[in-house]
Amino acid sequence: MAQARDLGRRYIKAFLKGFFVAVPVTVTFLDRVACVARVEGASMQPSLNPGGGQVSDVVLLNHWSIRNYEVQRGDIVSLVSPRNPEQKIIKRVIALEGDIIKTIGYKKQYVKVPHGHMWVEGDHHGHSFDSNFFGPVSLGLLHARATHILWPPRRWQKLQPVLPPERKPLLTEQE
Amino acid sequence: MFQDVLGKTFRLLGYTIQYGCIAHCAFEYVGGIVVCSGPSMQPTIQNYDIVVLDNLSRHFYSIQKGDIVIAKSPSDPKSNICKRVIGLEGDKVCTSSPSNFLKSHSYVPKGHVWLEGDNLRNSTDSRCYGPIPYGLIRGRICFK
């Protein structure tokens, strides 16, 4: 009986040790390196969720590549919604700080993106809650860059940073 | 001999990763200790004061009016600002600077907060760059 109790105690110790190693490492990995997310909504059609309500795309979100807040025009990124901090939204970066762009339906027709901000838009104009609604967003709200579509299998692809030619900035700041 | 050193190195690396991850989880989800610099919160917080940050209230959305918070700067995401919450979403705040005679008011939009430093004369805050999104807040200061 004493042997069984010893074995039980050793088992519990090993379990706790494993738990305290595995949980922080997994959480840190999902927070800092990469995670996976399902895309809801039609604001990025046809790039994401082209099928509508049927099957939602699942994308790979890469936190590591934006650890220095370096994004390019045309990247698809996920960010904390400026109107609802509990929600994350996924949009395409159209303009970076210093660019002057023509807006669609915003209160000002031409906007110069302030320092430390970016302009994001969904590909499905008119059905997208994006910068044309809430203006330029601070880079601090950047959450991750979407790099690949993982599900459904017939839509496996690497997401390329593509800027639609009609949305190119009118004037970019020379770096 | 070589295998011994290699084994020790891997063990050290393993421990470093493990403690690094625990430290990250603790700072991100519970809180930590931060050093503040700058004159914008005098006399409440002096330059180079050490304060204790509490991140739980950010995750549970229990930050209230009057709390001192640390947030990412809206114009430079790599630096932090330390200010007091003057208004939450829906509140009416006074947006004009103290030198203006005519005071103008506006409402804080949904999902944003209005921050002001205690040292109103020497503080760049929401009176300068407007309300900031709640998502930029990192934590609330609970002790000094």
* pLDDT single digits (tens) B73-123: 998 889 888 999 999 988 888 876 666 677 778 889 999 999 998 888 888
What chain B holds in terms of domains, given with CATH numbers, is 31-143 (2.10.109.10)
Q: Does residue A172 form part of some domain?
A: no
A4 and A44 in a common domain? no
Best of A19, A26, A28, A133 to disrupt the B interface (most B CBs within 10 Å) is A28
Pick from B18, B72, B132: CB nearest A21: B18
Interface touch A116/B73, C-beta < 8 Å: yes
The whole-number pLDDT of residue A89 equals: 94
Task: Indicate whether A85 and A7 sit together in one domain.
Answer: no
Range of the domain at A12: 1-32
Residue A175 lies inside a defined structural domain of this protein: no
Same domain, A147 and A65: yes
Please count the structural domains in chain A: 2
Residue A174 belongs to some domain of the structure: no
Query: A137 and A70 share a domain?
Result: yes
Q: How far apart are the first and last CA of chain A?
A: 74
Regarding predicted confidence, which is higher, B48 or B25? B25
Residue B133 has pLDDT above 70, yes or no: yes
Same domain, A91 and A63: yes
Counted residue by residue, chain B has a size of: 144
**DSSP string over B42-94:** TTTS-TTEEEEEE-HHHHTT---TT-EEEEEETTEEEEEEEEEEEE-TT-EEE
Token pair of B141, please? 């200061």
Predicted ipTM of the assembly: 0.82
Supply the residues of A annotated as catalytic.
43, 91
Distance from CA of A79 to the nearest CA of B (A): 9
Q: Are residues A28 and A56 in the same domain?
A: no
Spatial contact of A24 and B24, defined as CB atoms under 8 Å apart? yes
The least confident of A2-6, A156-160, B50-54 is: A2-6
Q: Are residues A127 and A146 in the same domain?
A: yes
Say if residue A89 is in the same domain as residue A16. no
Check whether residue A81 and residue A128 sit in a common domain. yes
Same domain, A121 and A152: yes
Whole-model pTM: value is 0.85
Local confidence band at A175 (pLDDT 50, 70, 90 cut-offs): very low
A89 and A5 within one domain? no
Closest approach of B28 to chain A, Cα-based (Å): 9
Nearest alpha-carbon partner for B83 in B98, B99, B100, B63: B63
